Amino acid sequence: AQSVTQPDIHITVSEGASLELRCNYSYGATPYLFWYVQSPGQGLQLLLKYFSGDTLVQGIKGFEAEFKRSQSSFNLRKPSVHWSDAAEYFCAVEVRSNDYKLSFGAGTTVTVRA
Amino acid sequence: DVKVTQSSRYLVKRTGEKVFLECVQDMDHENMFWYRQDPGLGLRLIYFSYDVKMKEKGDIPEGYSVSREKKERFSLILESASTNQTSMYLCASRTPGIQRGYTFGSGTRLTVV
C-alpha cells in the first residue's frame, strides 16, 4: 500500500537557524511529490512540487526540497527560518491507479523561537 | 488561478442531522476531492470524483456520501451526523497537465453536538 511518512511530529527551531523536514514515501512508481504549508487558522498553501527532472526543487518563501529516489525521500529545507514560518507542513504524494488522488503524511508542526 | 470555494467556514449540527458541505471550483476541473483533517492524522481522503456523477471511495468513506451533479460542484453528505465526525473538512480540485497541482478550499470546521 502506498504511504507517506513524516517522522517528526514537532520541530522547534530558533529564528535564523536552518530547518529540514523529512518525508519518506512508499510507492511503486515514480511519484509526483508536493509540500504544503498550513499556518494557524489558514488553508493549505503549496510550497513546491516535484514531477521530474532536476531533483532539487525551489519553492516559495525560500524553501527547497530534494528528491532522492534511492532513499524514497523528499525532504524540505530552508536555510534561515523566520518567525512567520511557524506552521504545520504536509508532504503529499500523488497516487495514480484508476485515477489520481493525493495522499498526505501526518504533518510536522514547526515552532520558531526568538 | 483556480478558486475553490467552500460554502461554510463554521457549522454546528446536532447528532443525527443530515449535513451537506458544498464545494465549488471555477476551472471546469474533472477531479475533485473531499478530505478531513484531524490533529496528528494529517489529511485523510473521504471521497473523490473524476467526472460528473462519477465517484470513488477514499480511505475513510464510512458515514459519508457525495454528489456531483455538475462539474463545478462537489458535495459531501453526512447522512446522520455523529460526534466522531467533528472535524475540519477540506475540498480540493486538481489541475491537470503541465500545471498539475491541487488547490484547496479554506475548509469547513464542523462541530457535531
Question: Does the pLDDT of residue A1 top 70, yes or no?
Answer: no
Cα distance between residue B16 and residue B19, in whole Å: 9
Question: Does the pLDDT of residue A24 top 70, yes or no?
Answer: yes
- Which residues 11-30 in chain A show a CB within 8 A of chain B? none
Contact A104 B92 (CB under 8 A): no
SS3 content of chain B, % helix, strand, coil (to 5): 5, 60, 35
- Which residues 34-63 in chain B show a CB within 8 A of chain A? 35, 40-45, 48, 50, 56, 58
Domains and CATH numbers, chain A: 3-113 (2.60.40.10)
pLDDT-based confidence at A2, cuts 50/70/90? low
Closest to B58 in 3D by CA, of B81, B25, B35, B92: B35
Closest to B24 in 3D by CA, of B2, B4, B53: B4
- Which residues 36-95 in chain A show a CB within 8 A of chain B? 36, 42-44, 46, 49, 51, 90, 92, 94
Domains and CATH numbers, chain B: 4-112 (2.60.40.10)
Cα distance between residue B94 and residue B96, in whole Å: 6
Could you report the per-residue pLDDT of B46-102, keeping only the tens digit for each?
999 999 989 999 999 999 999 999 999 999 999 999 999 999 999 999 998 888 889
**Three-state SS sequence of A26-65:** ECCCCCEEEEEEECCCCCEEEEEEECCCCCEEECHHHCEE
pLDDT of residue A17: 97
Cα distance between residue B87 and residue B112, in whole Å: 9
Using a CB-CB cut-off of 8 Å, the residues of chain B touching A44 are: 90, 104
Cα distance between residue B60 and residue B45, in whole Å: 6
Instruction: Please state the rounded mean pLDDT for residues B14-43.
Output: 94
pLDDT of residue A30: 73
